[in-house]
Amino acid sequence: MSTPAGNLEIRDLVKRYGTDAAAVAGIGLTVDSGEFLTLLGPSGSGKTTTLNMIAGFVHPTAGSIHLNGVDLTELQPHKRGFGMVFQNYALFPHMSVFDNVAYPLRQRKTGKPDVRRLVLDILERFGLSGMEHRRPAQLSGGQQQRVALARALVFSPSVLLLDEPLGALDRKLRQSLQAELKKLHQEVGLTFVFVTHDQDEAMFLSDRIAVFNEGRIDRVGRPAQLYDDPGTLFVANFLGEANTFAGRRVDAETYAWNGEKWRTADDRHPPEGVLVVRPERVRVFGTDEVPPGWNSVAPSSPTCPAWARRPGST
């Protein structure tokens, strides 16, 4: 796995099926070398279509895809050289674990001794030694997942594409595999493009997250940045829990909502901006701490304001 990590660039990508609304309505995105980027969004938001266009399974209506500056848009999937892990793994059921993992190497006409060495090495690395003769159906979900990863990485691709690879697993296994995946990314240093609809997974794994909404990217940013400063109401609601108050800013310190005046130190947003309060940031104050004429209001952190209702009021 000595291949340098690739950097991907997506320009104005559009996918339209027939006359329907565009599945992907013009997105631009760069993925840096070695970065773990997650495409996050609800189902039907265009994230999987985008990944399929990167992989080459879906031809874009417009726009282009570049790997290390080379235009891939018209290239057949098998010539793009991405590693790919599919939802439900897509292991070949009629082949042994060994043959599954050897598959991409044999397509590349790797010599027999090298195939053997590389496959056995990577199986050992993924804790699958001794399973090379089994069929995929004889493995547990977690083992199948690891075979799929081994198969996607064995030929040292420069970018790994992952389409909801943990979606089929139960919660516990999912969590342990998330940790494995994160560790793997740090070890191999490859560029990962990961698709999920699970915000916790995205927050935990990603260097950056691109939040998809109705065929567009709402925002791209580091997980903490998107959480603290969501920018759009959609991102605020999709990433984590949010209490939203659609009032308006009166001045730099005051926000009015539902006939009440609340104090906030956060003055970054426009007057019509919706106020978002993360539940864990709420702090309750005693009535004596509140200045006269105010509701019990206080920012609990400089970037994220929070208020508590006066006891008894609704």
Q: Which residues are at the interface with another protein (CB under 8 A)?
A: 55-57, 76-78, 81-82, 84, 86-88, 90-94, 103-104, 107-108, 151-152, 155, 161
| Min dist. Cβ of residue 176 to another protein (A) | 24
Toward another protein, which CB reaches closer, 157 or 305? Answer: 157
Toward another protein, which CB reaches closer, 54 or 217? Answer: 54
Toward another protein, which CB reaches closer, 151 or 249? Answer: 151
Judged on CB neighbours under 10 Å (0-12, 13-18, 19+), 41 is buried
| Min dist. Cβ of residue 132 to another protein (A) | 17
| Min dist. Cβ of residue 7 to another protein (A) | 20
| Min dist. Cβ of residue 35 to another protein (A) | 20
Q: What is the 3-state secondary structure (H, E, C) of 105-147?
A: HHHCCCCHHHHHHHHHHHHHHCCCCCCCCCCHHHCCHHHHHHH
Toward another protein, which CB reaches closer, 126 or 234? Answer: 126
Toward another protein, which CB reaches closer, 20 or 288? Answer: 20
| Min dist. Cβ of residue 95 to another protein (A) | 8
Tokens of 293: 């004429």
The total number of residues written for the chain in this structure? 314
| Min dist. Cβ of residue 218 to another protein (A) | 28
Toward another protein, which CB reaches closer, 80 or 197? Answer: 80
Rounded (5°) CA angle 87-91-93: 130
Neighbours of 214 (CB within 10 A): 16
| Min dist. Cβ of residue 165 to another protein (A) | 12
Q: Where are the beta strands (DSSP E) in the chain?
A: 8-15, 24-31, 36-40, 62-67, 70-71, 83-85, 159-163, 191-196, 208-213, 216-221, 243-245, 248-251, 254-257, 260-263, 275-277
Toward another protein, which CB reaches closer, 65 or 203? Answer: 65
Tokens of 160: 């790994």
Distance separating alpha carbons of residues 308 and 51, to the nearest angstrom:
43
Name the β-bridge partners of 219: 211
Distance separating alpha carbons of residues 209 and 236, to the nearest angstrom:
13
Q: Are 96 and 132 in contact (CB under 8 A)?
A: yes
Distance separating alpha carbons of residues 178 and 66, to the nearest angstrom:
28
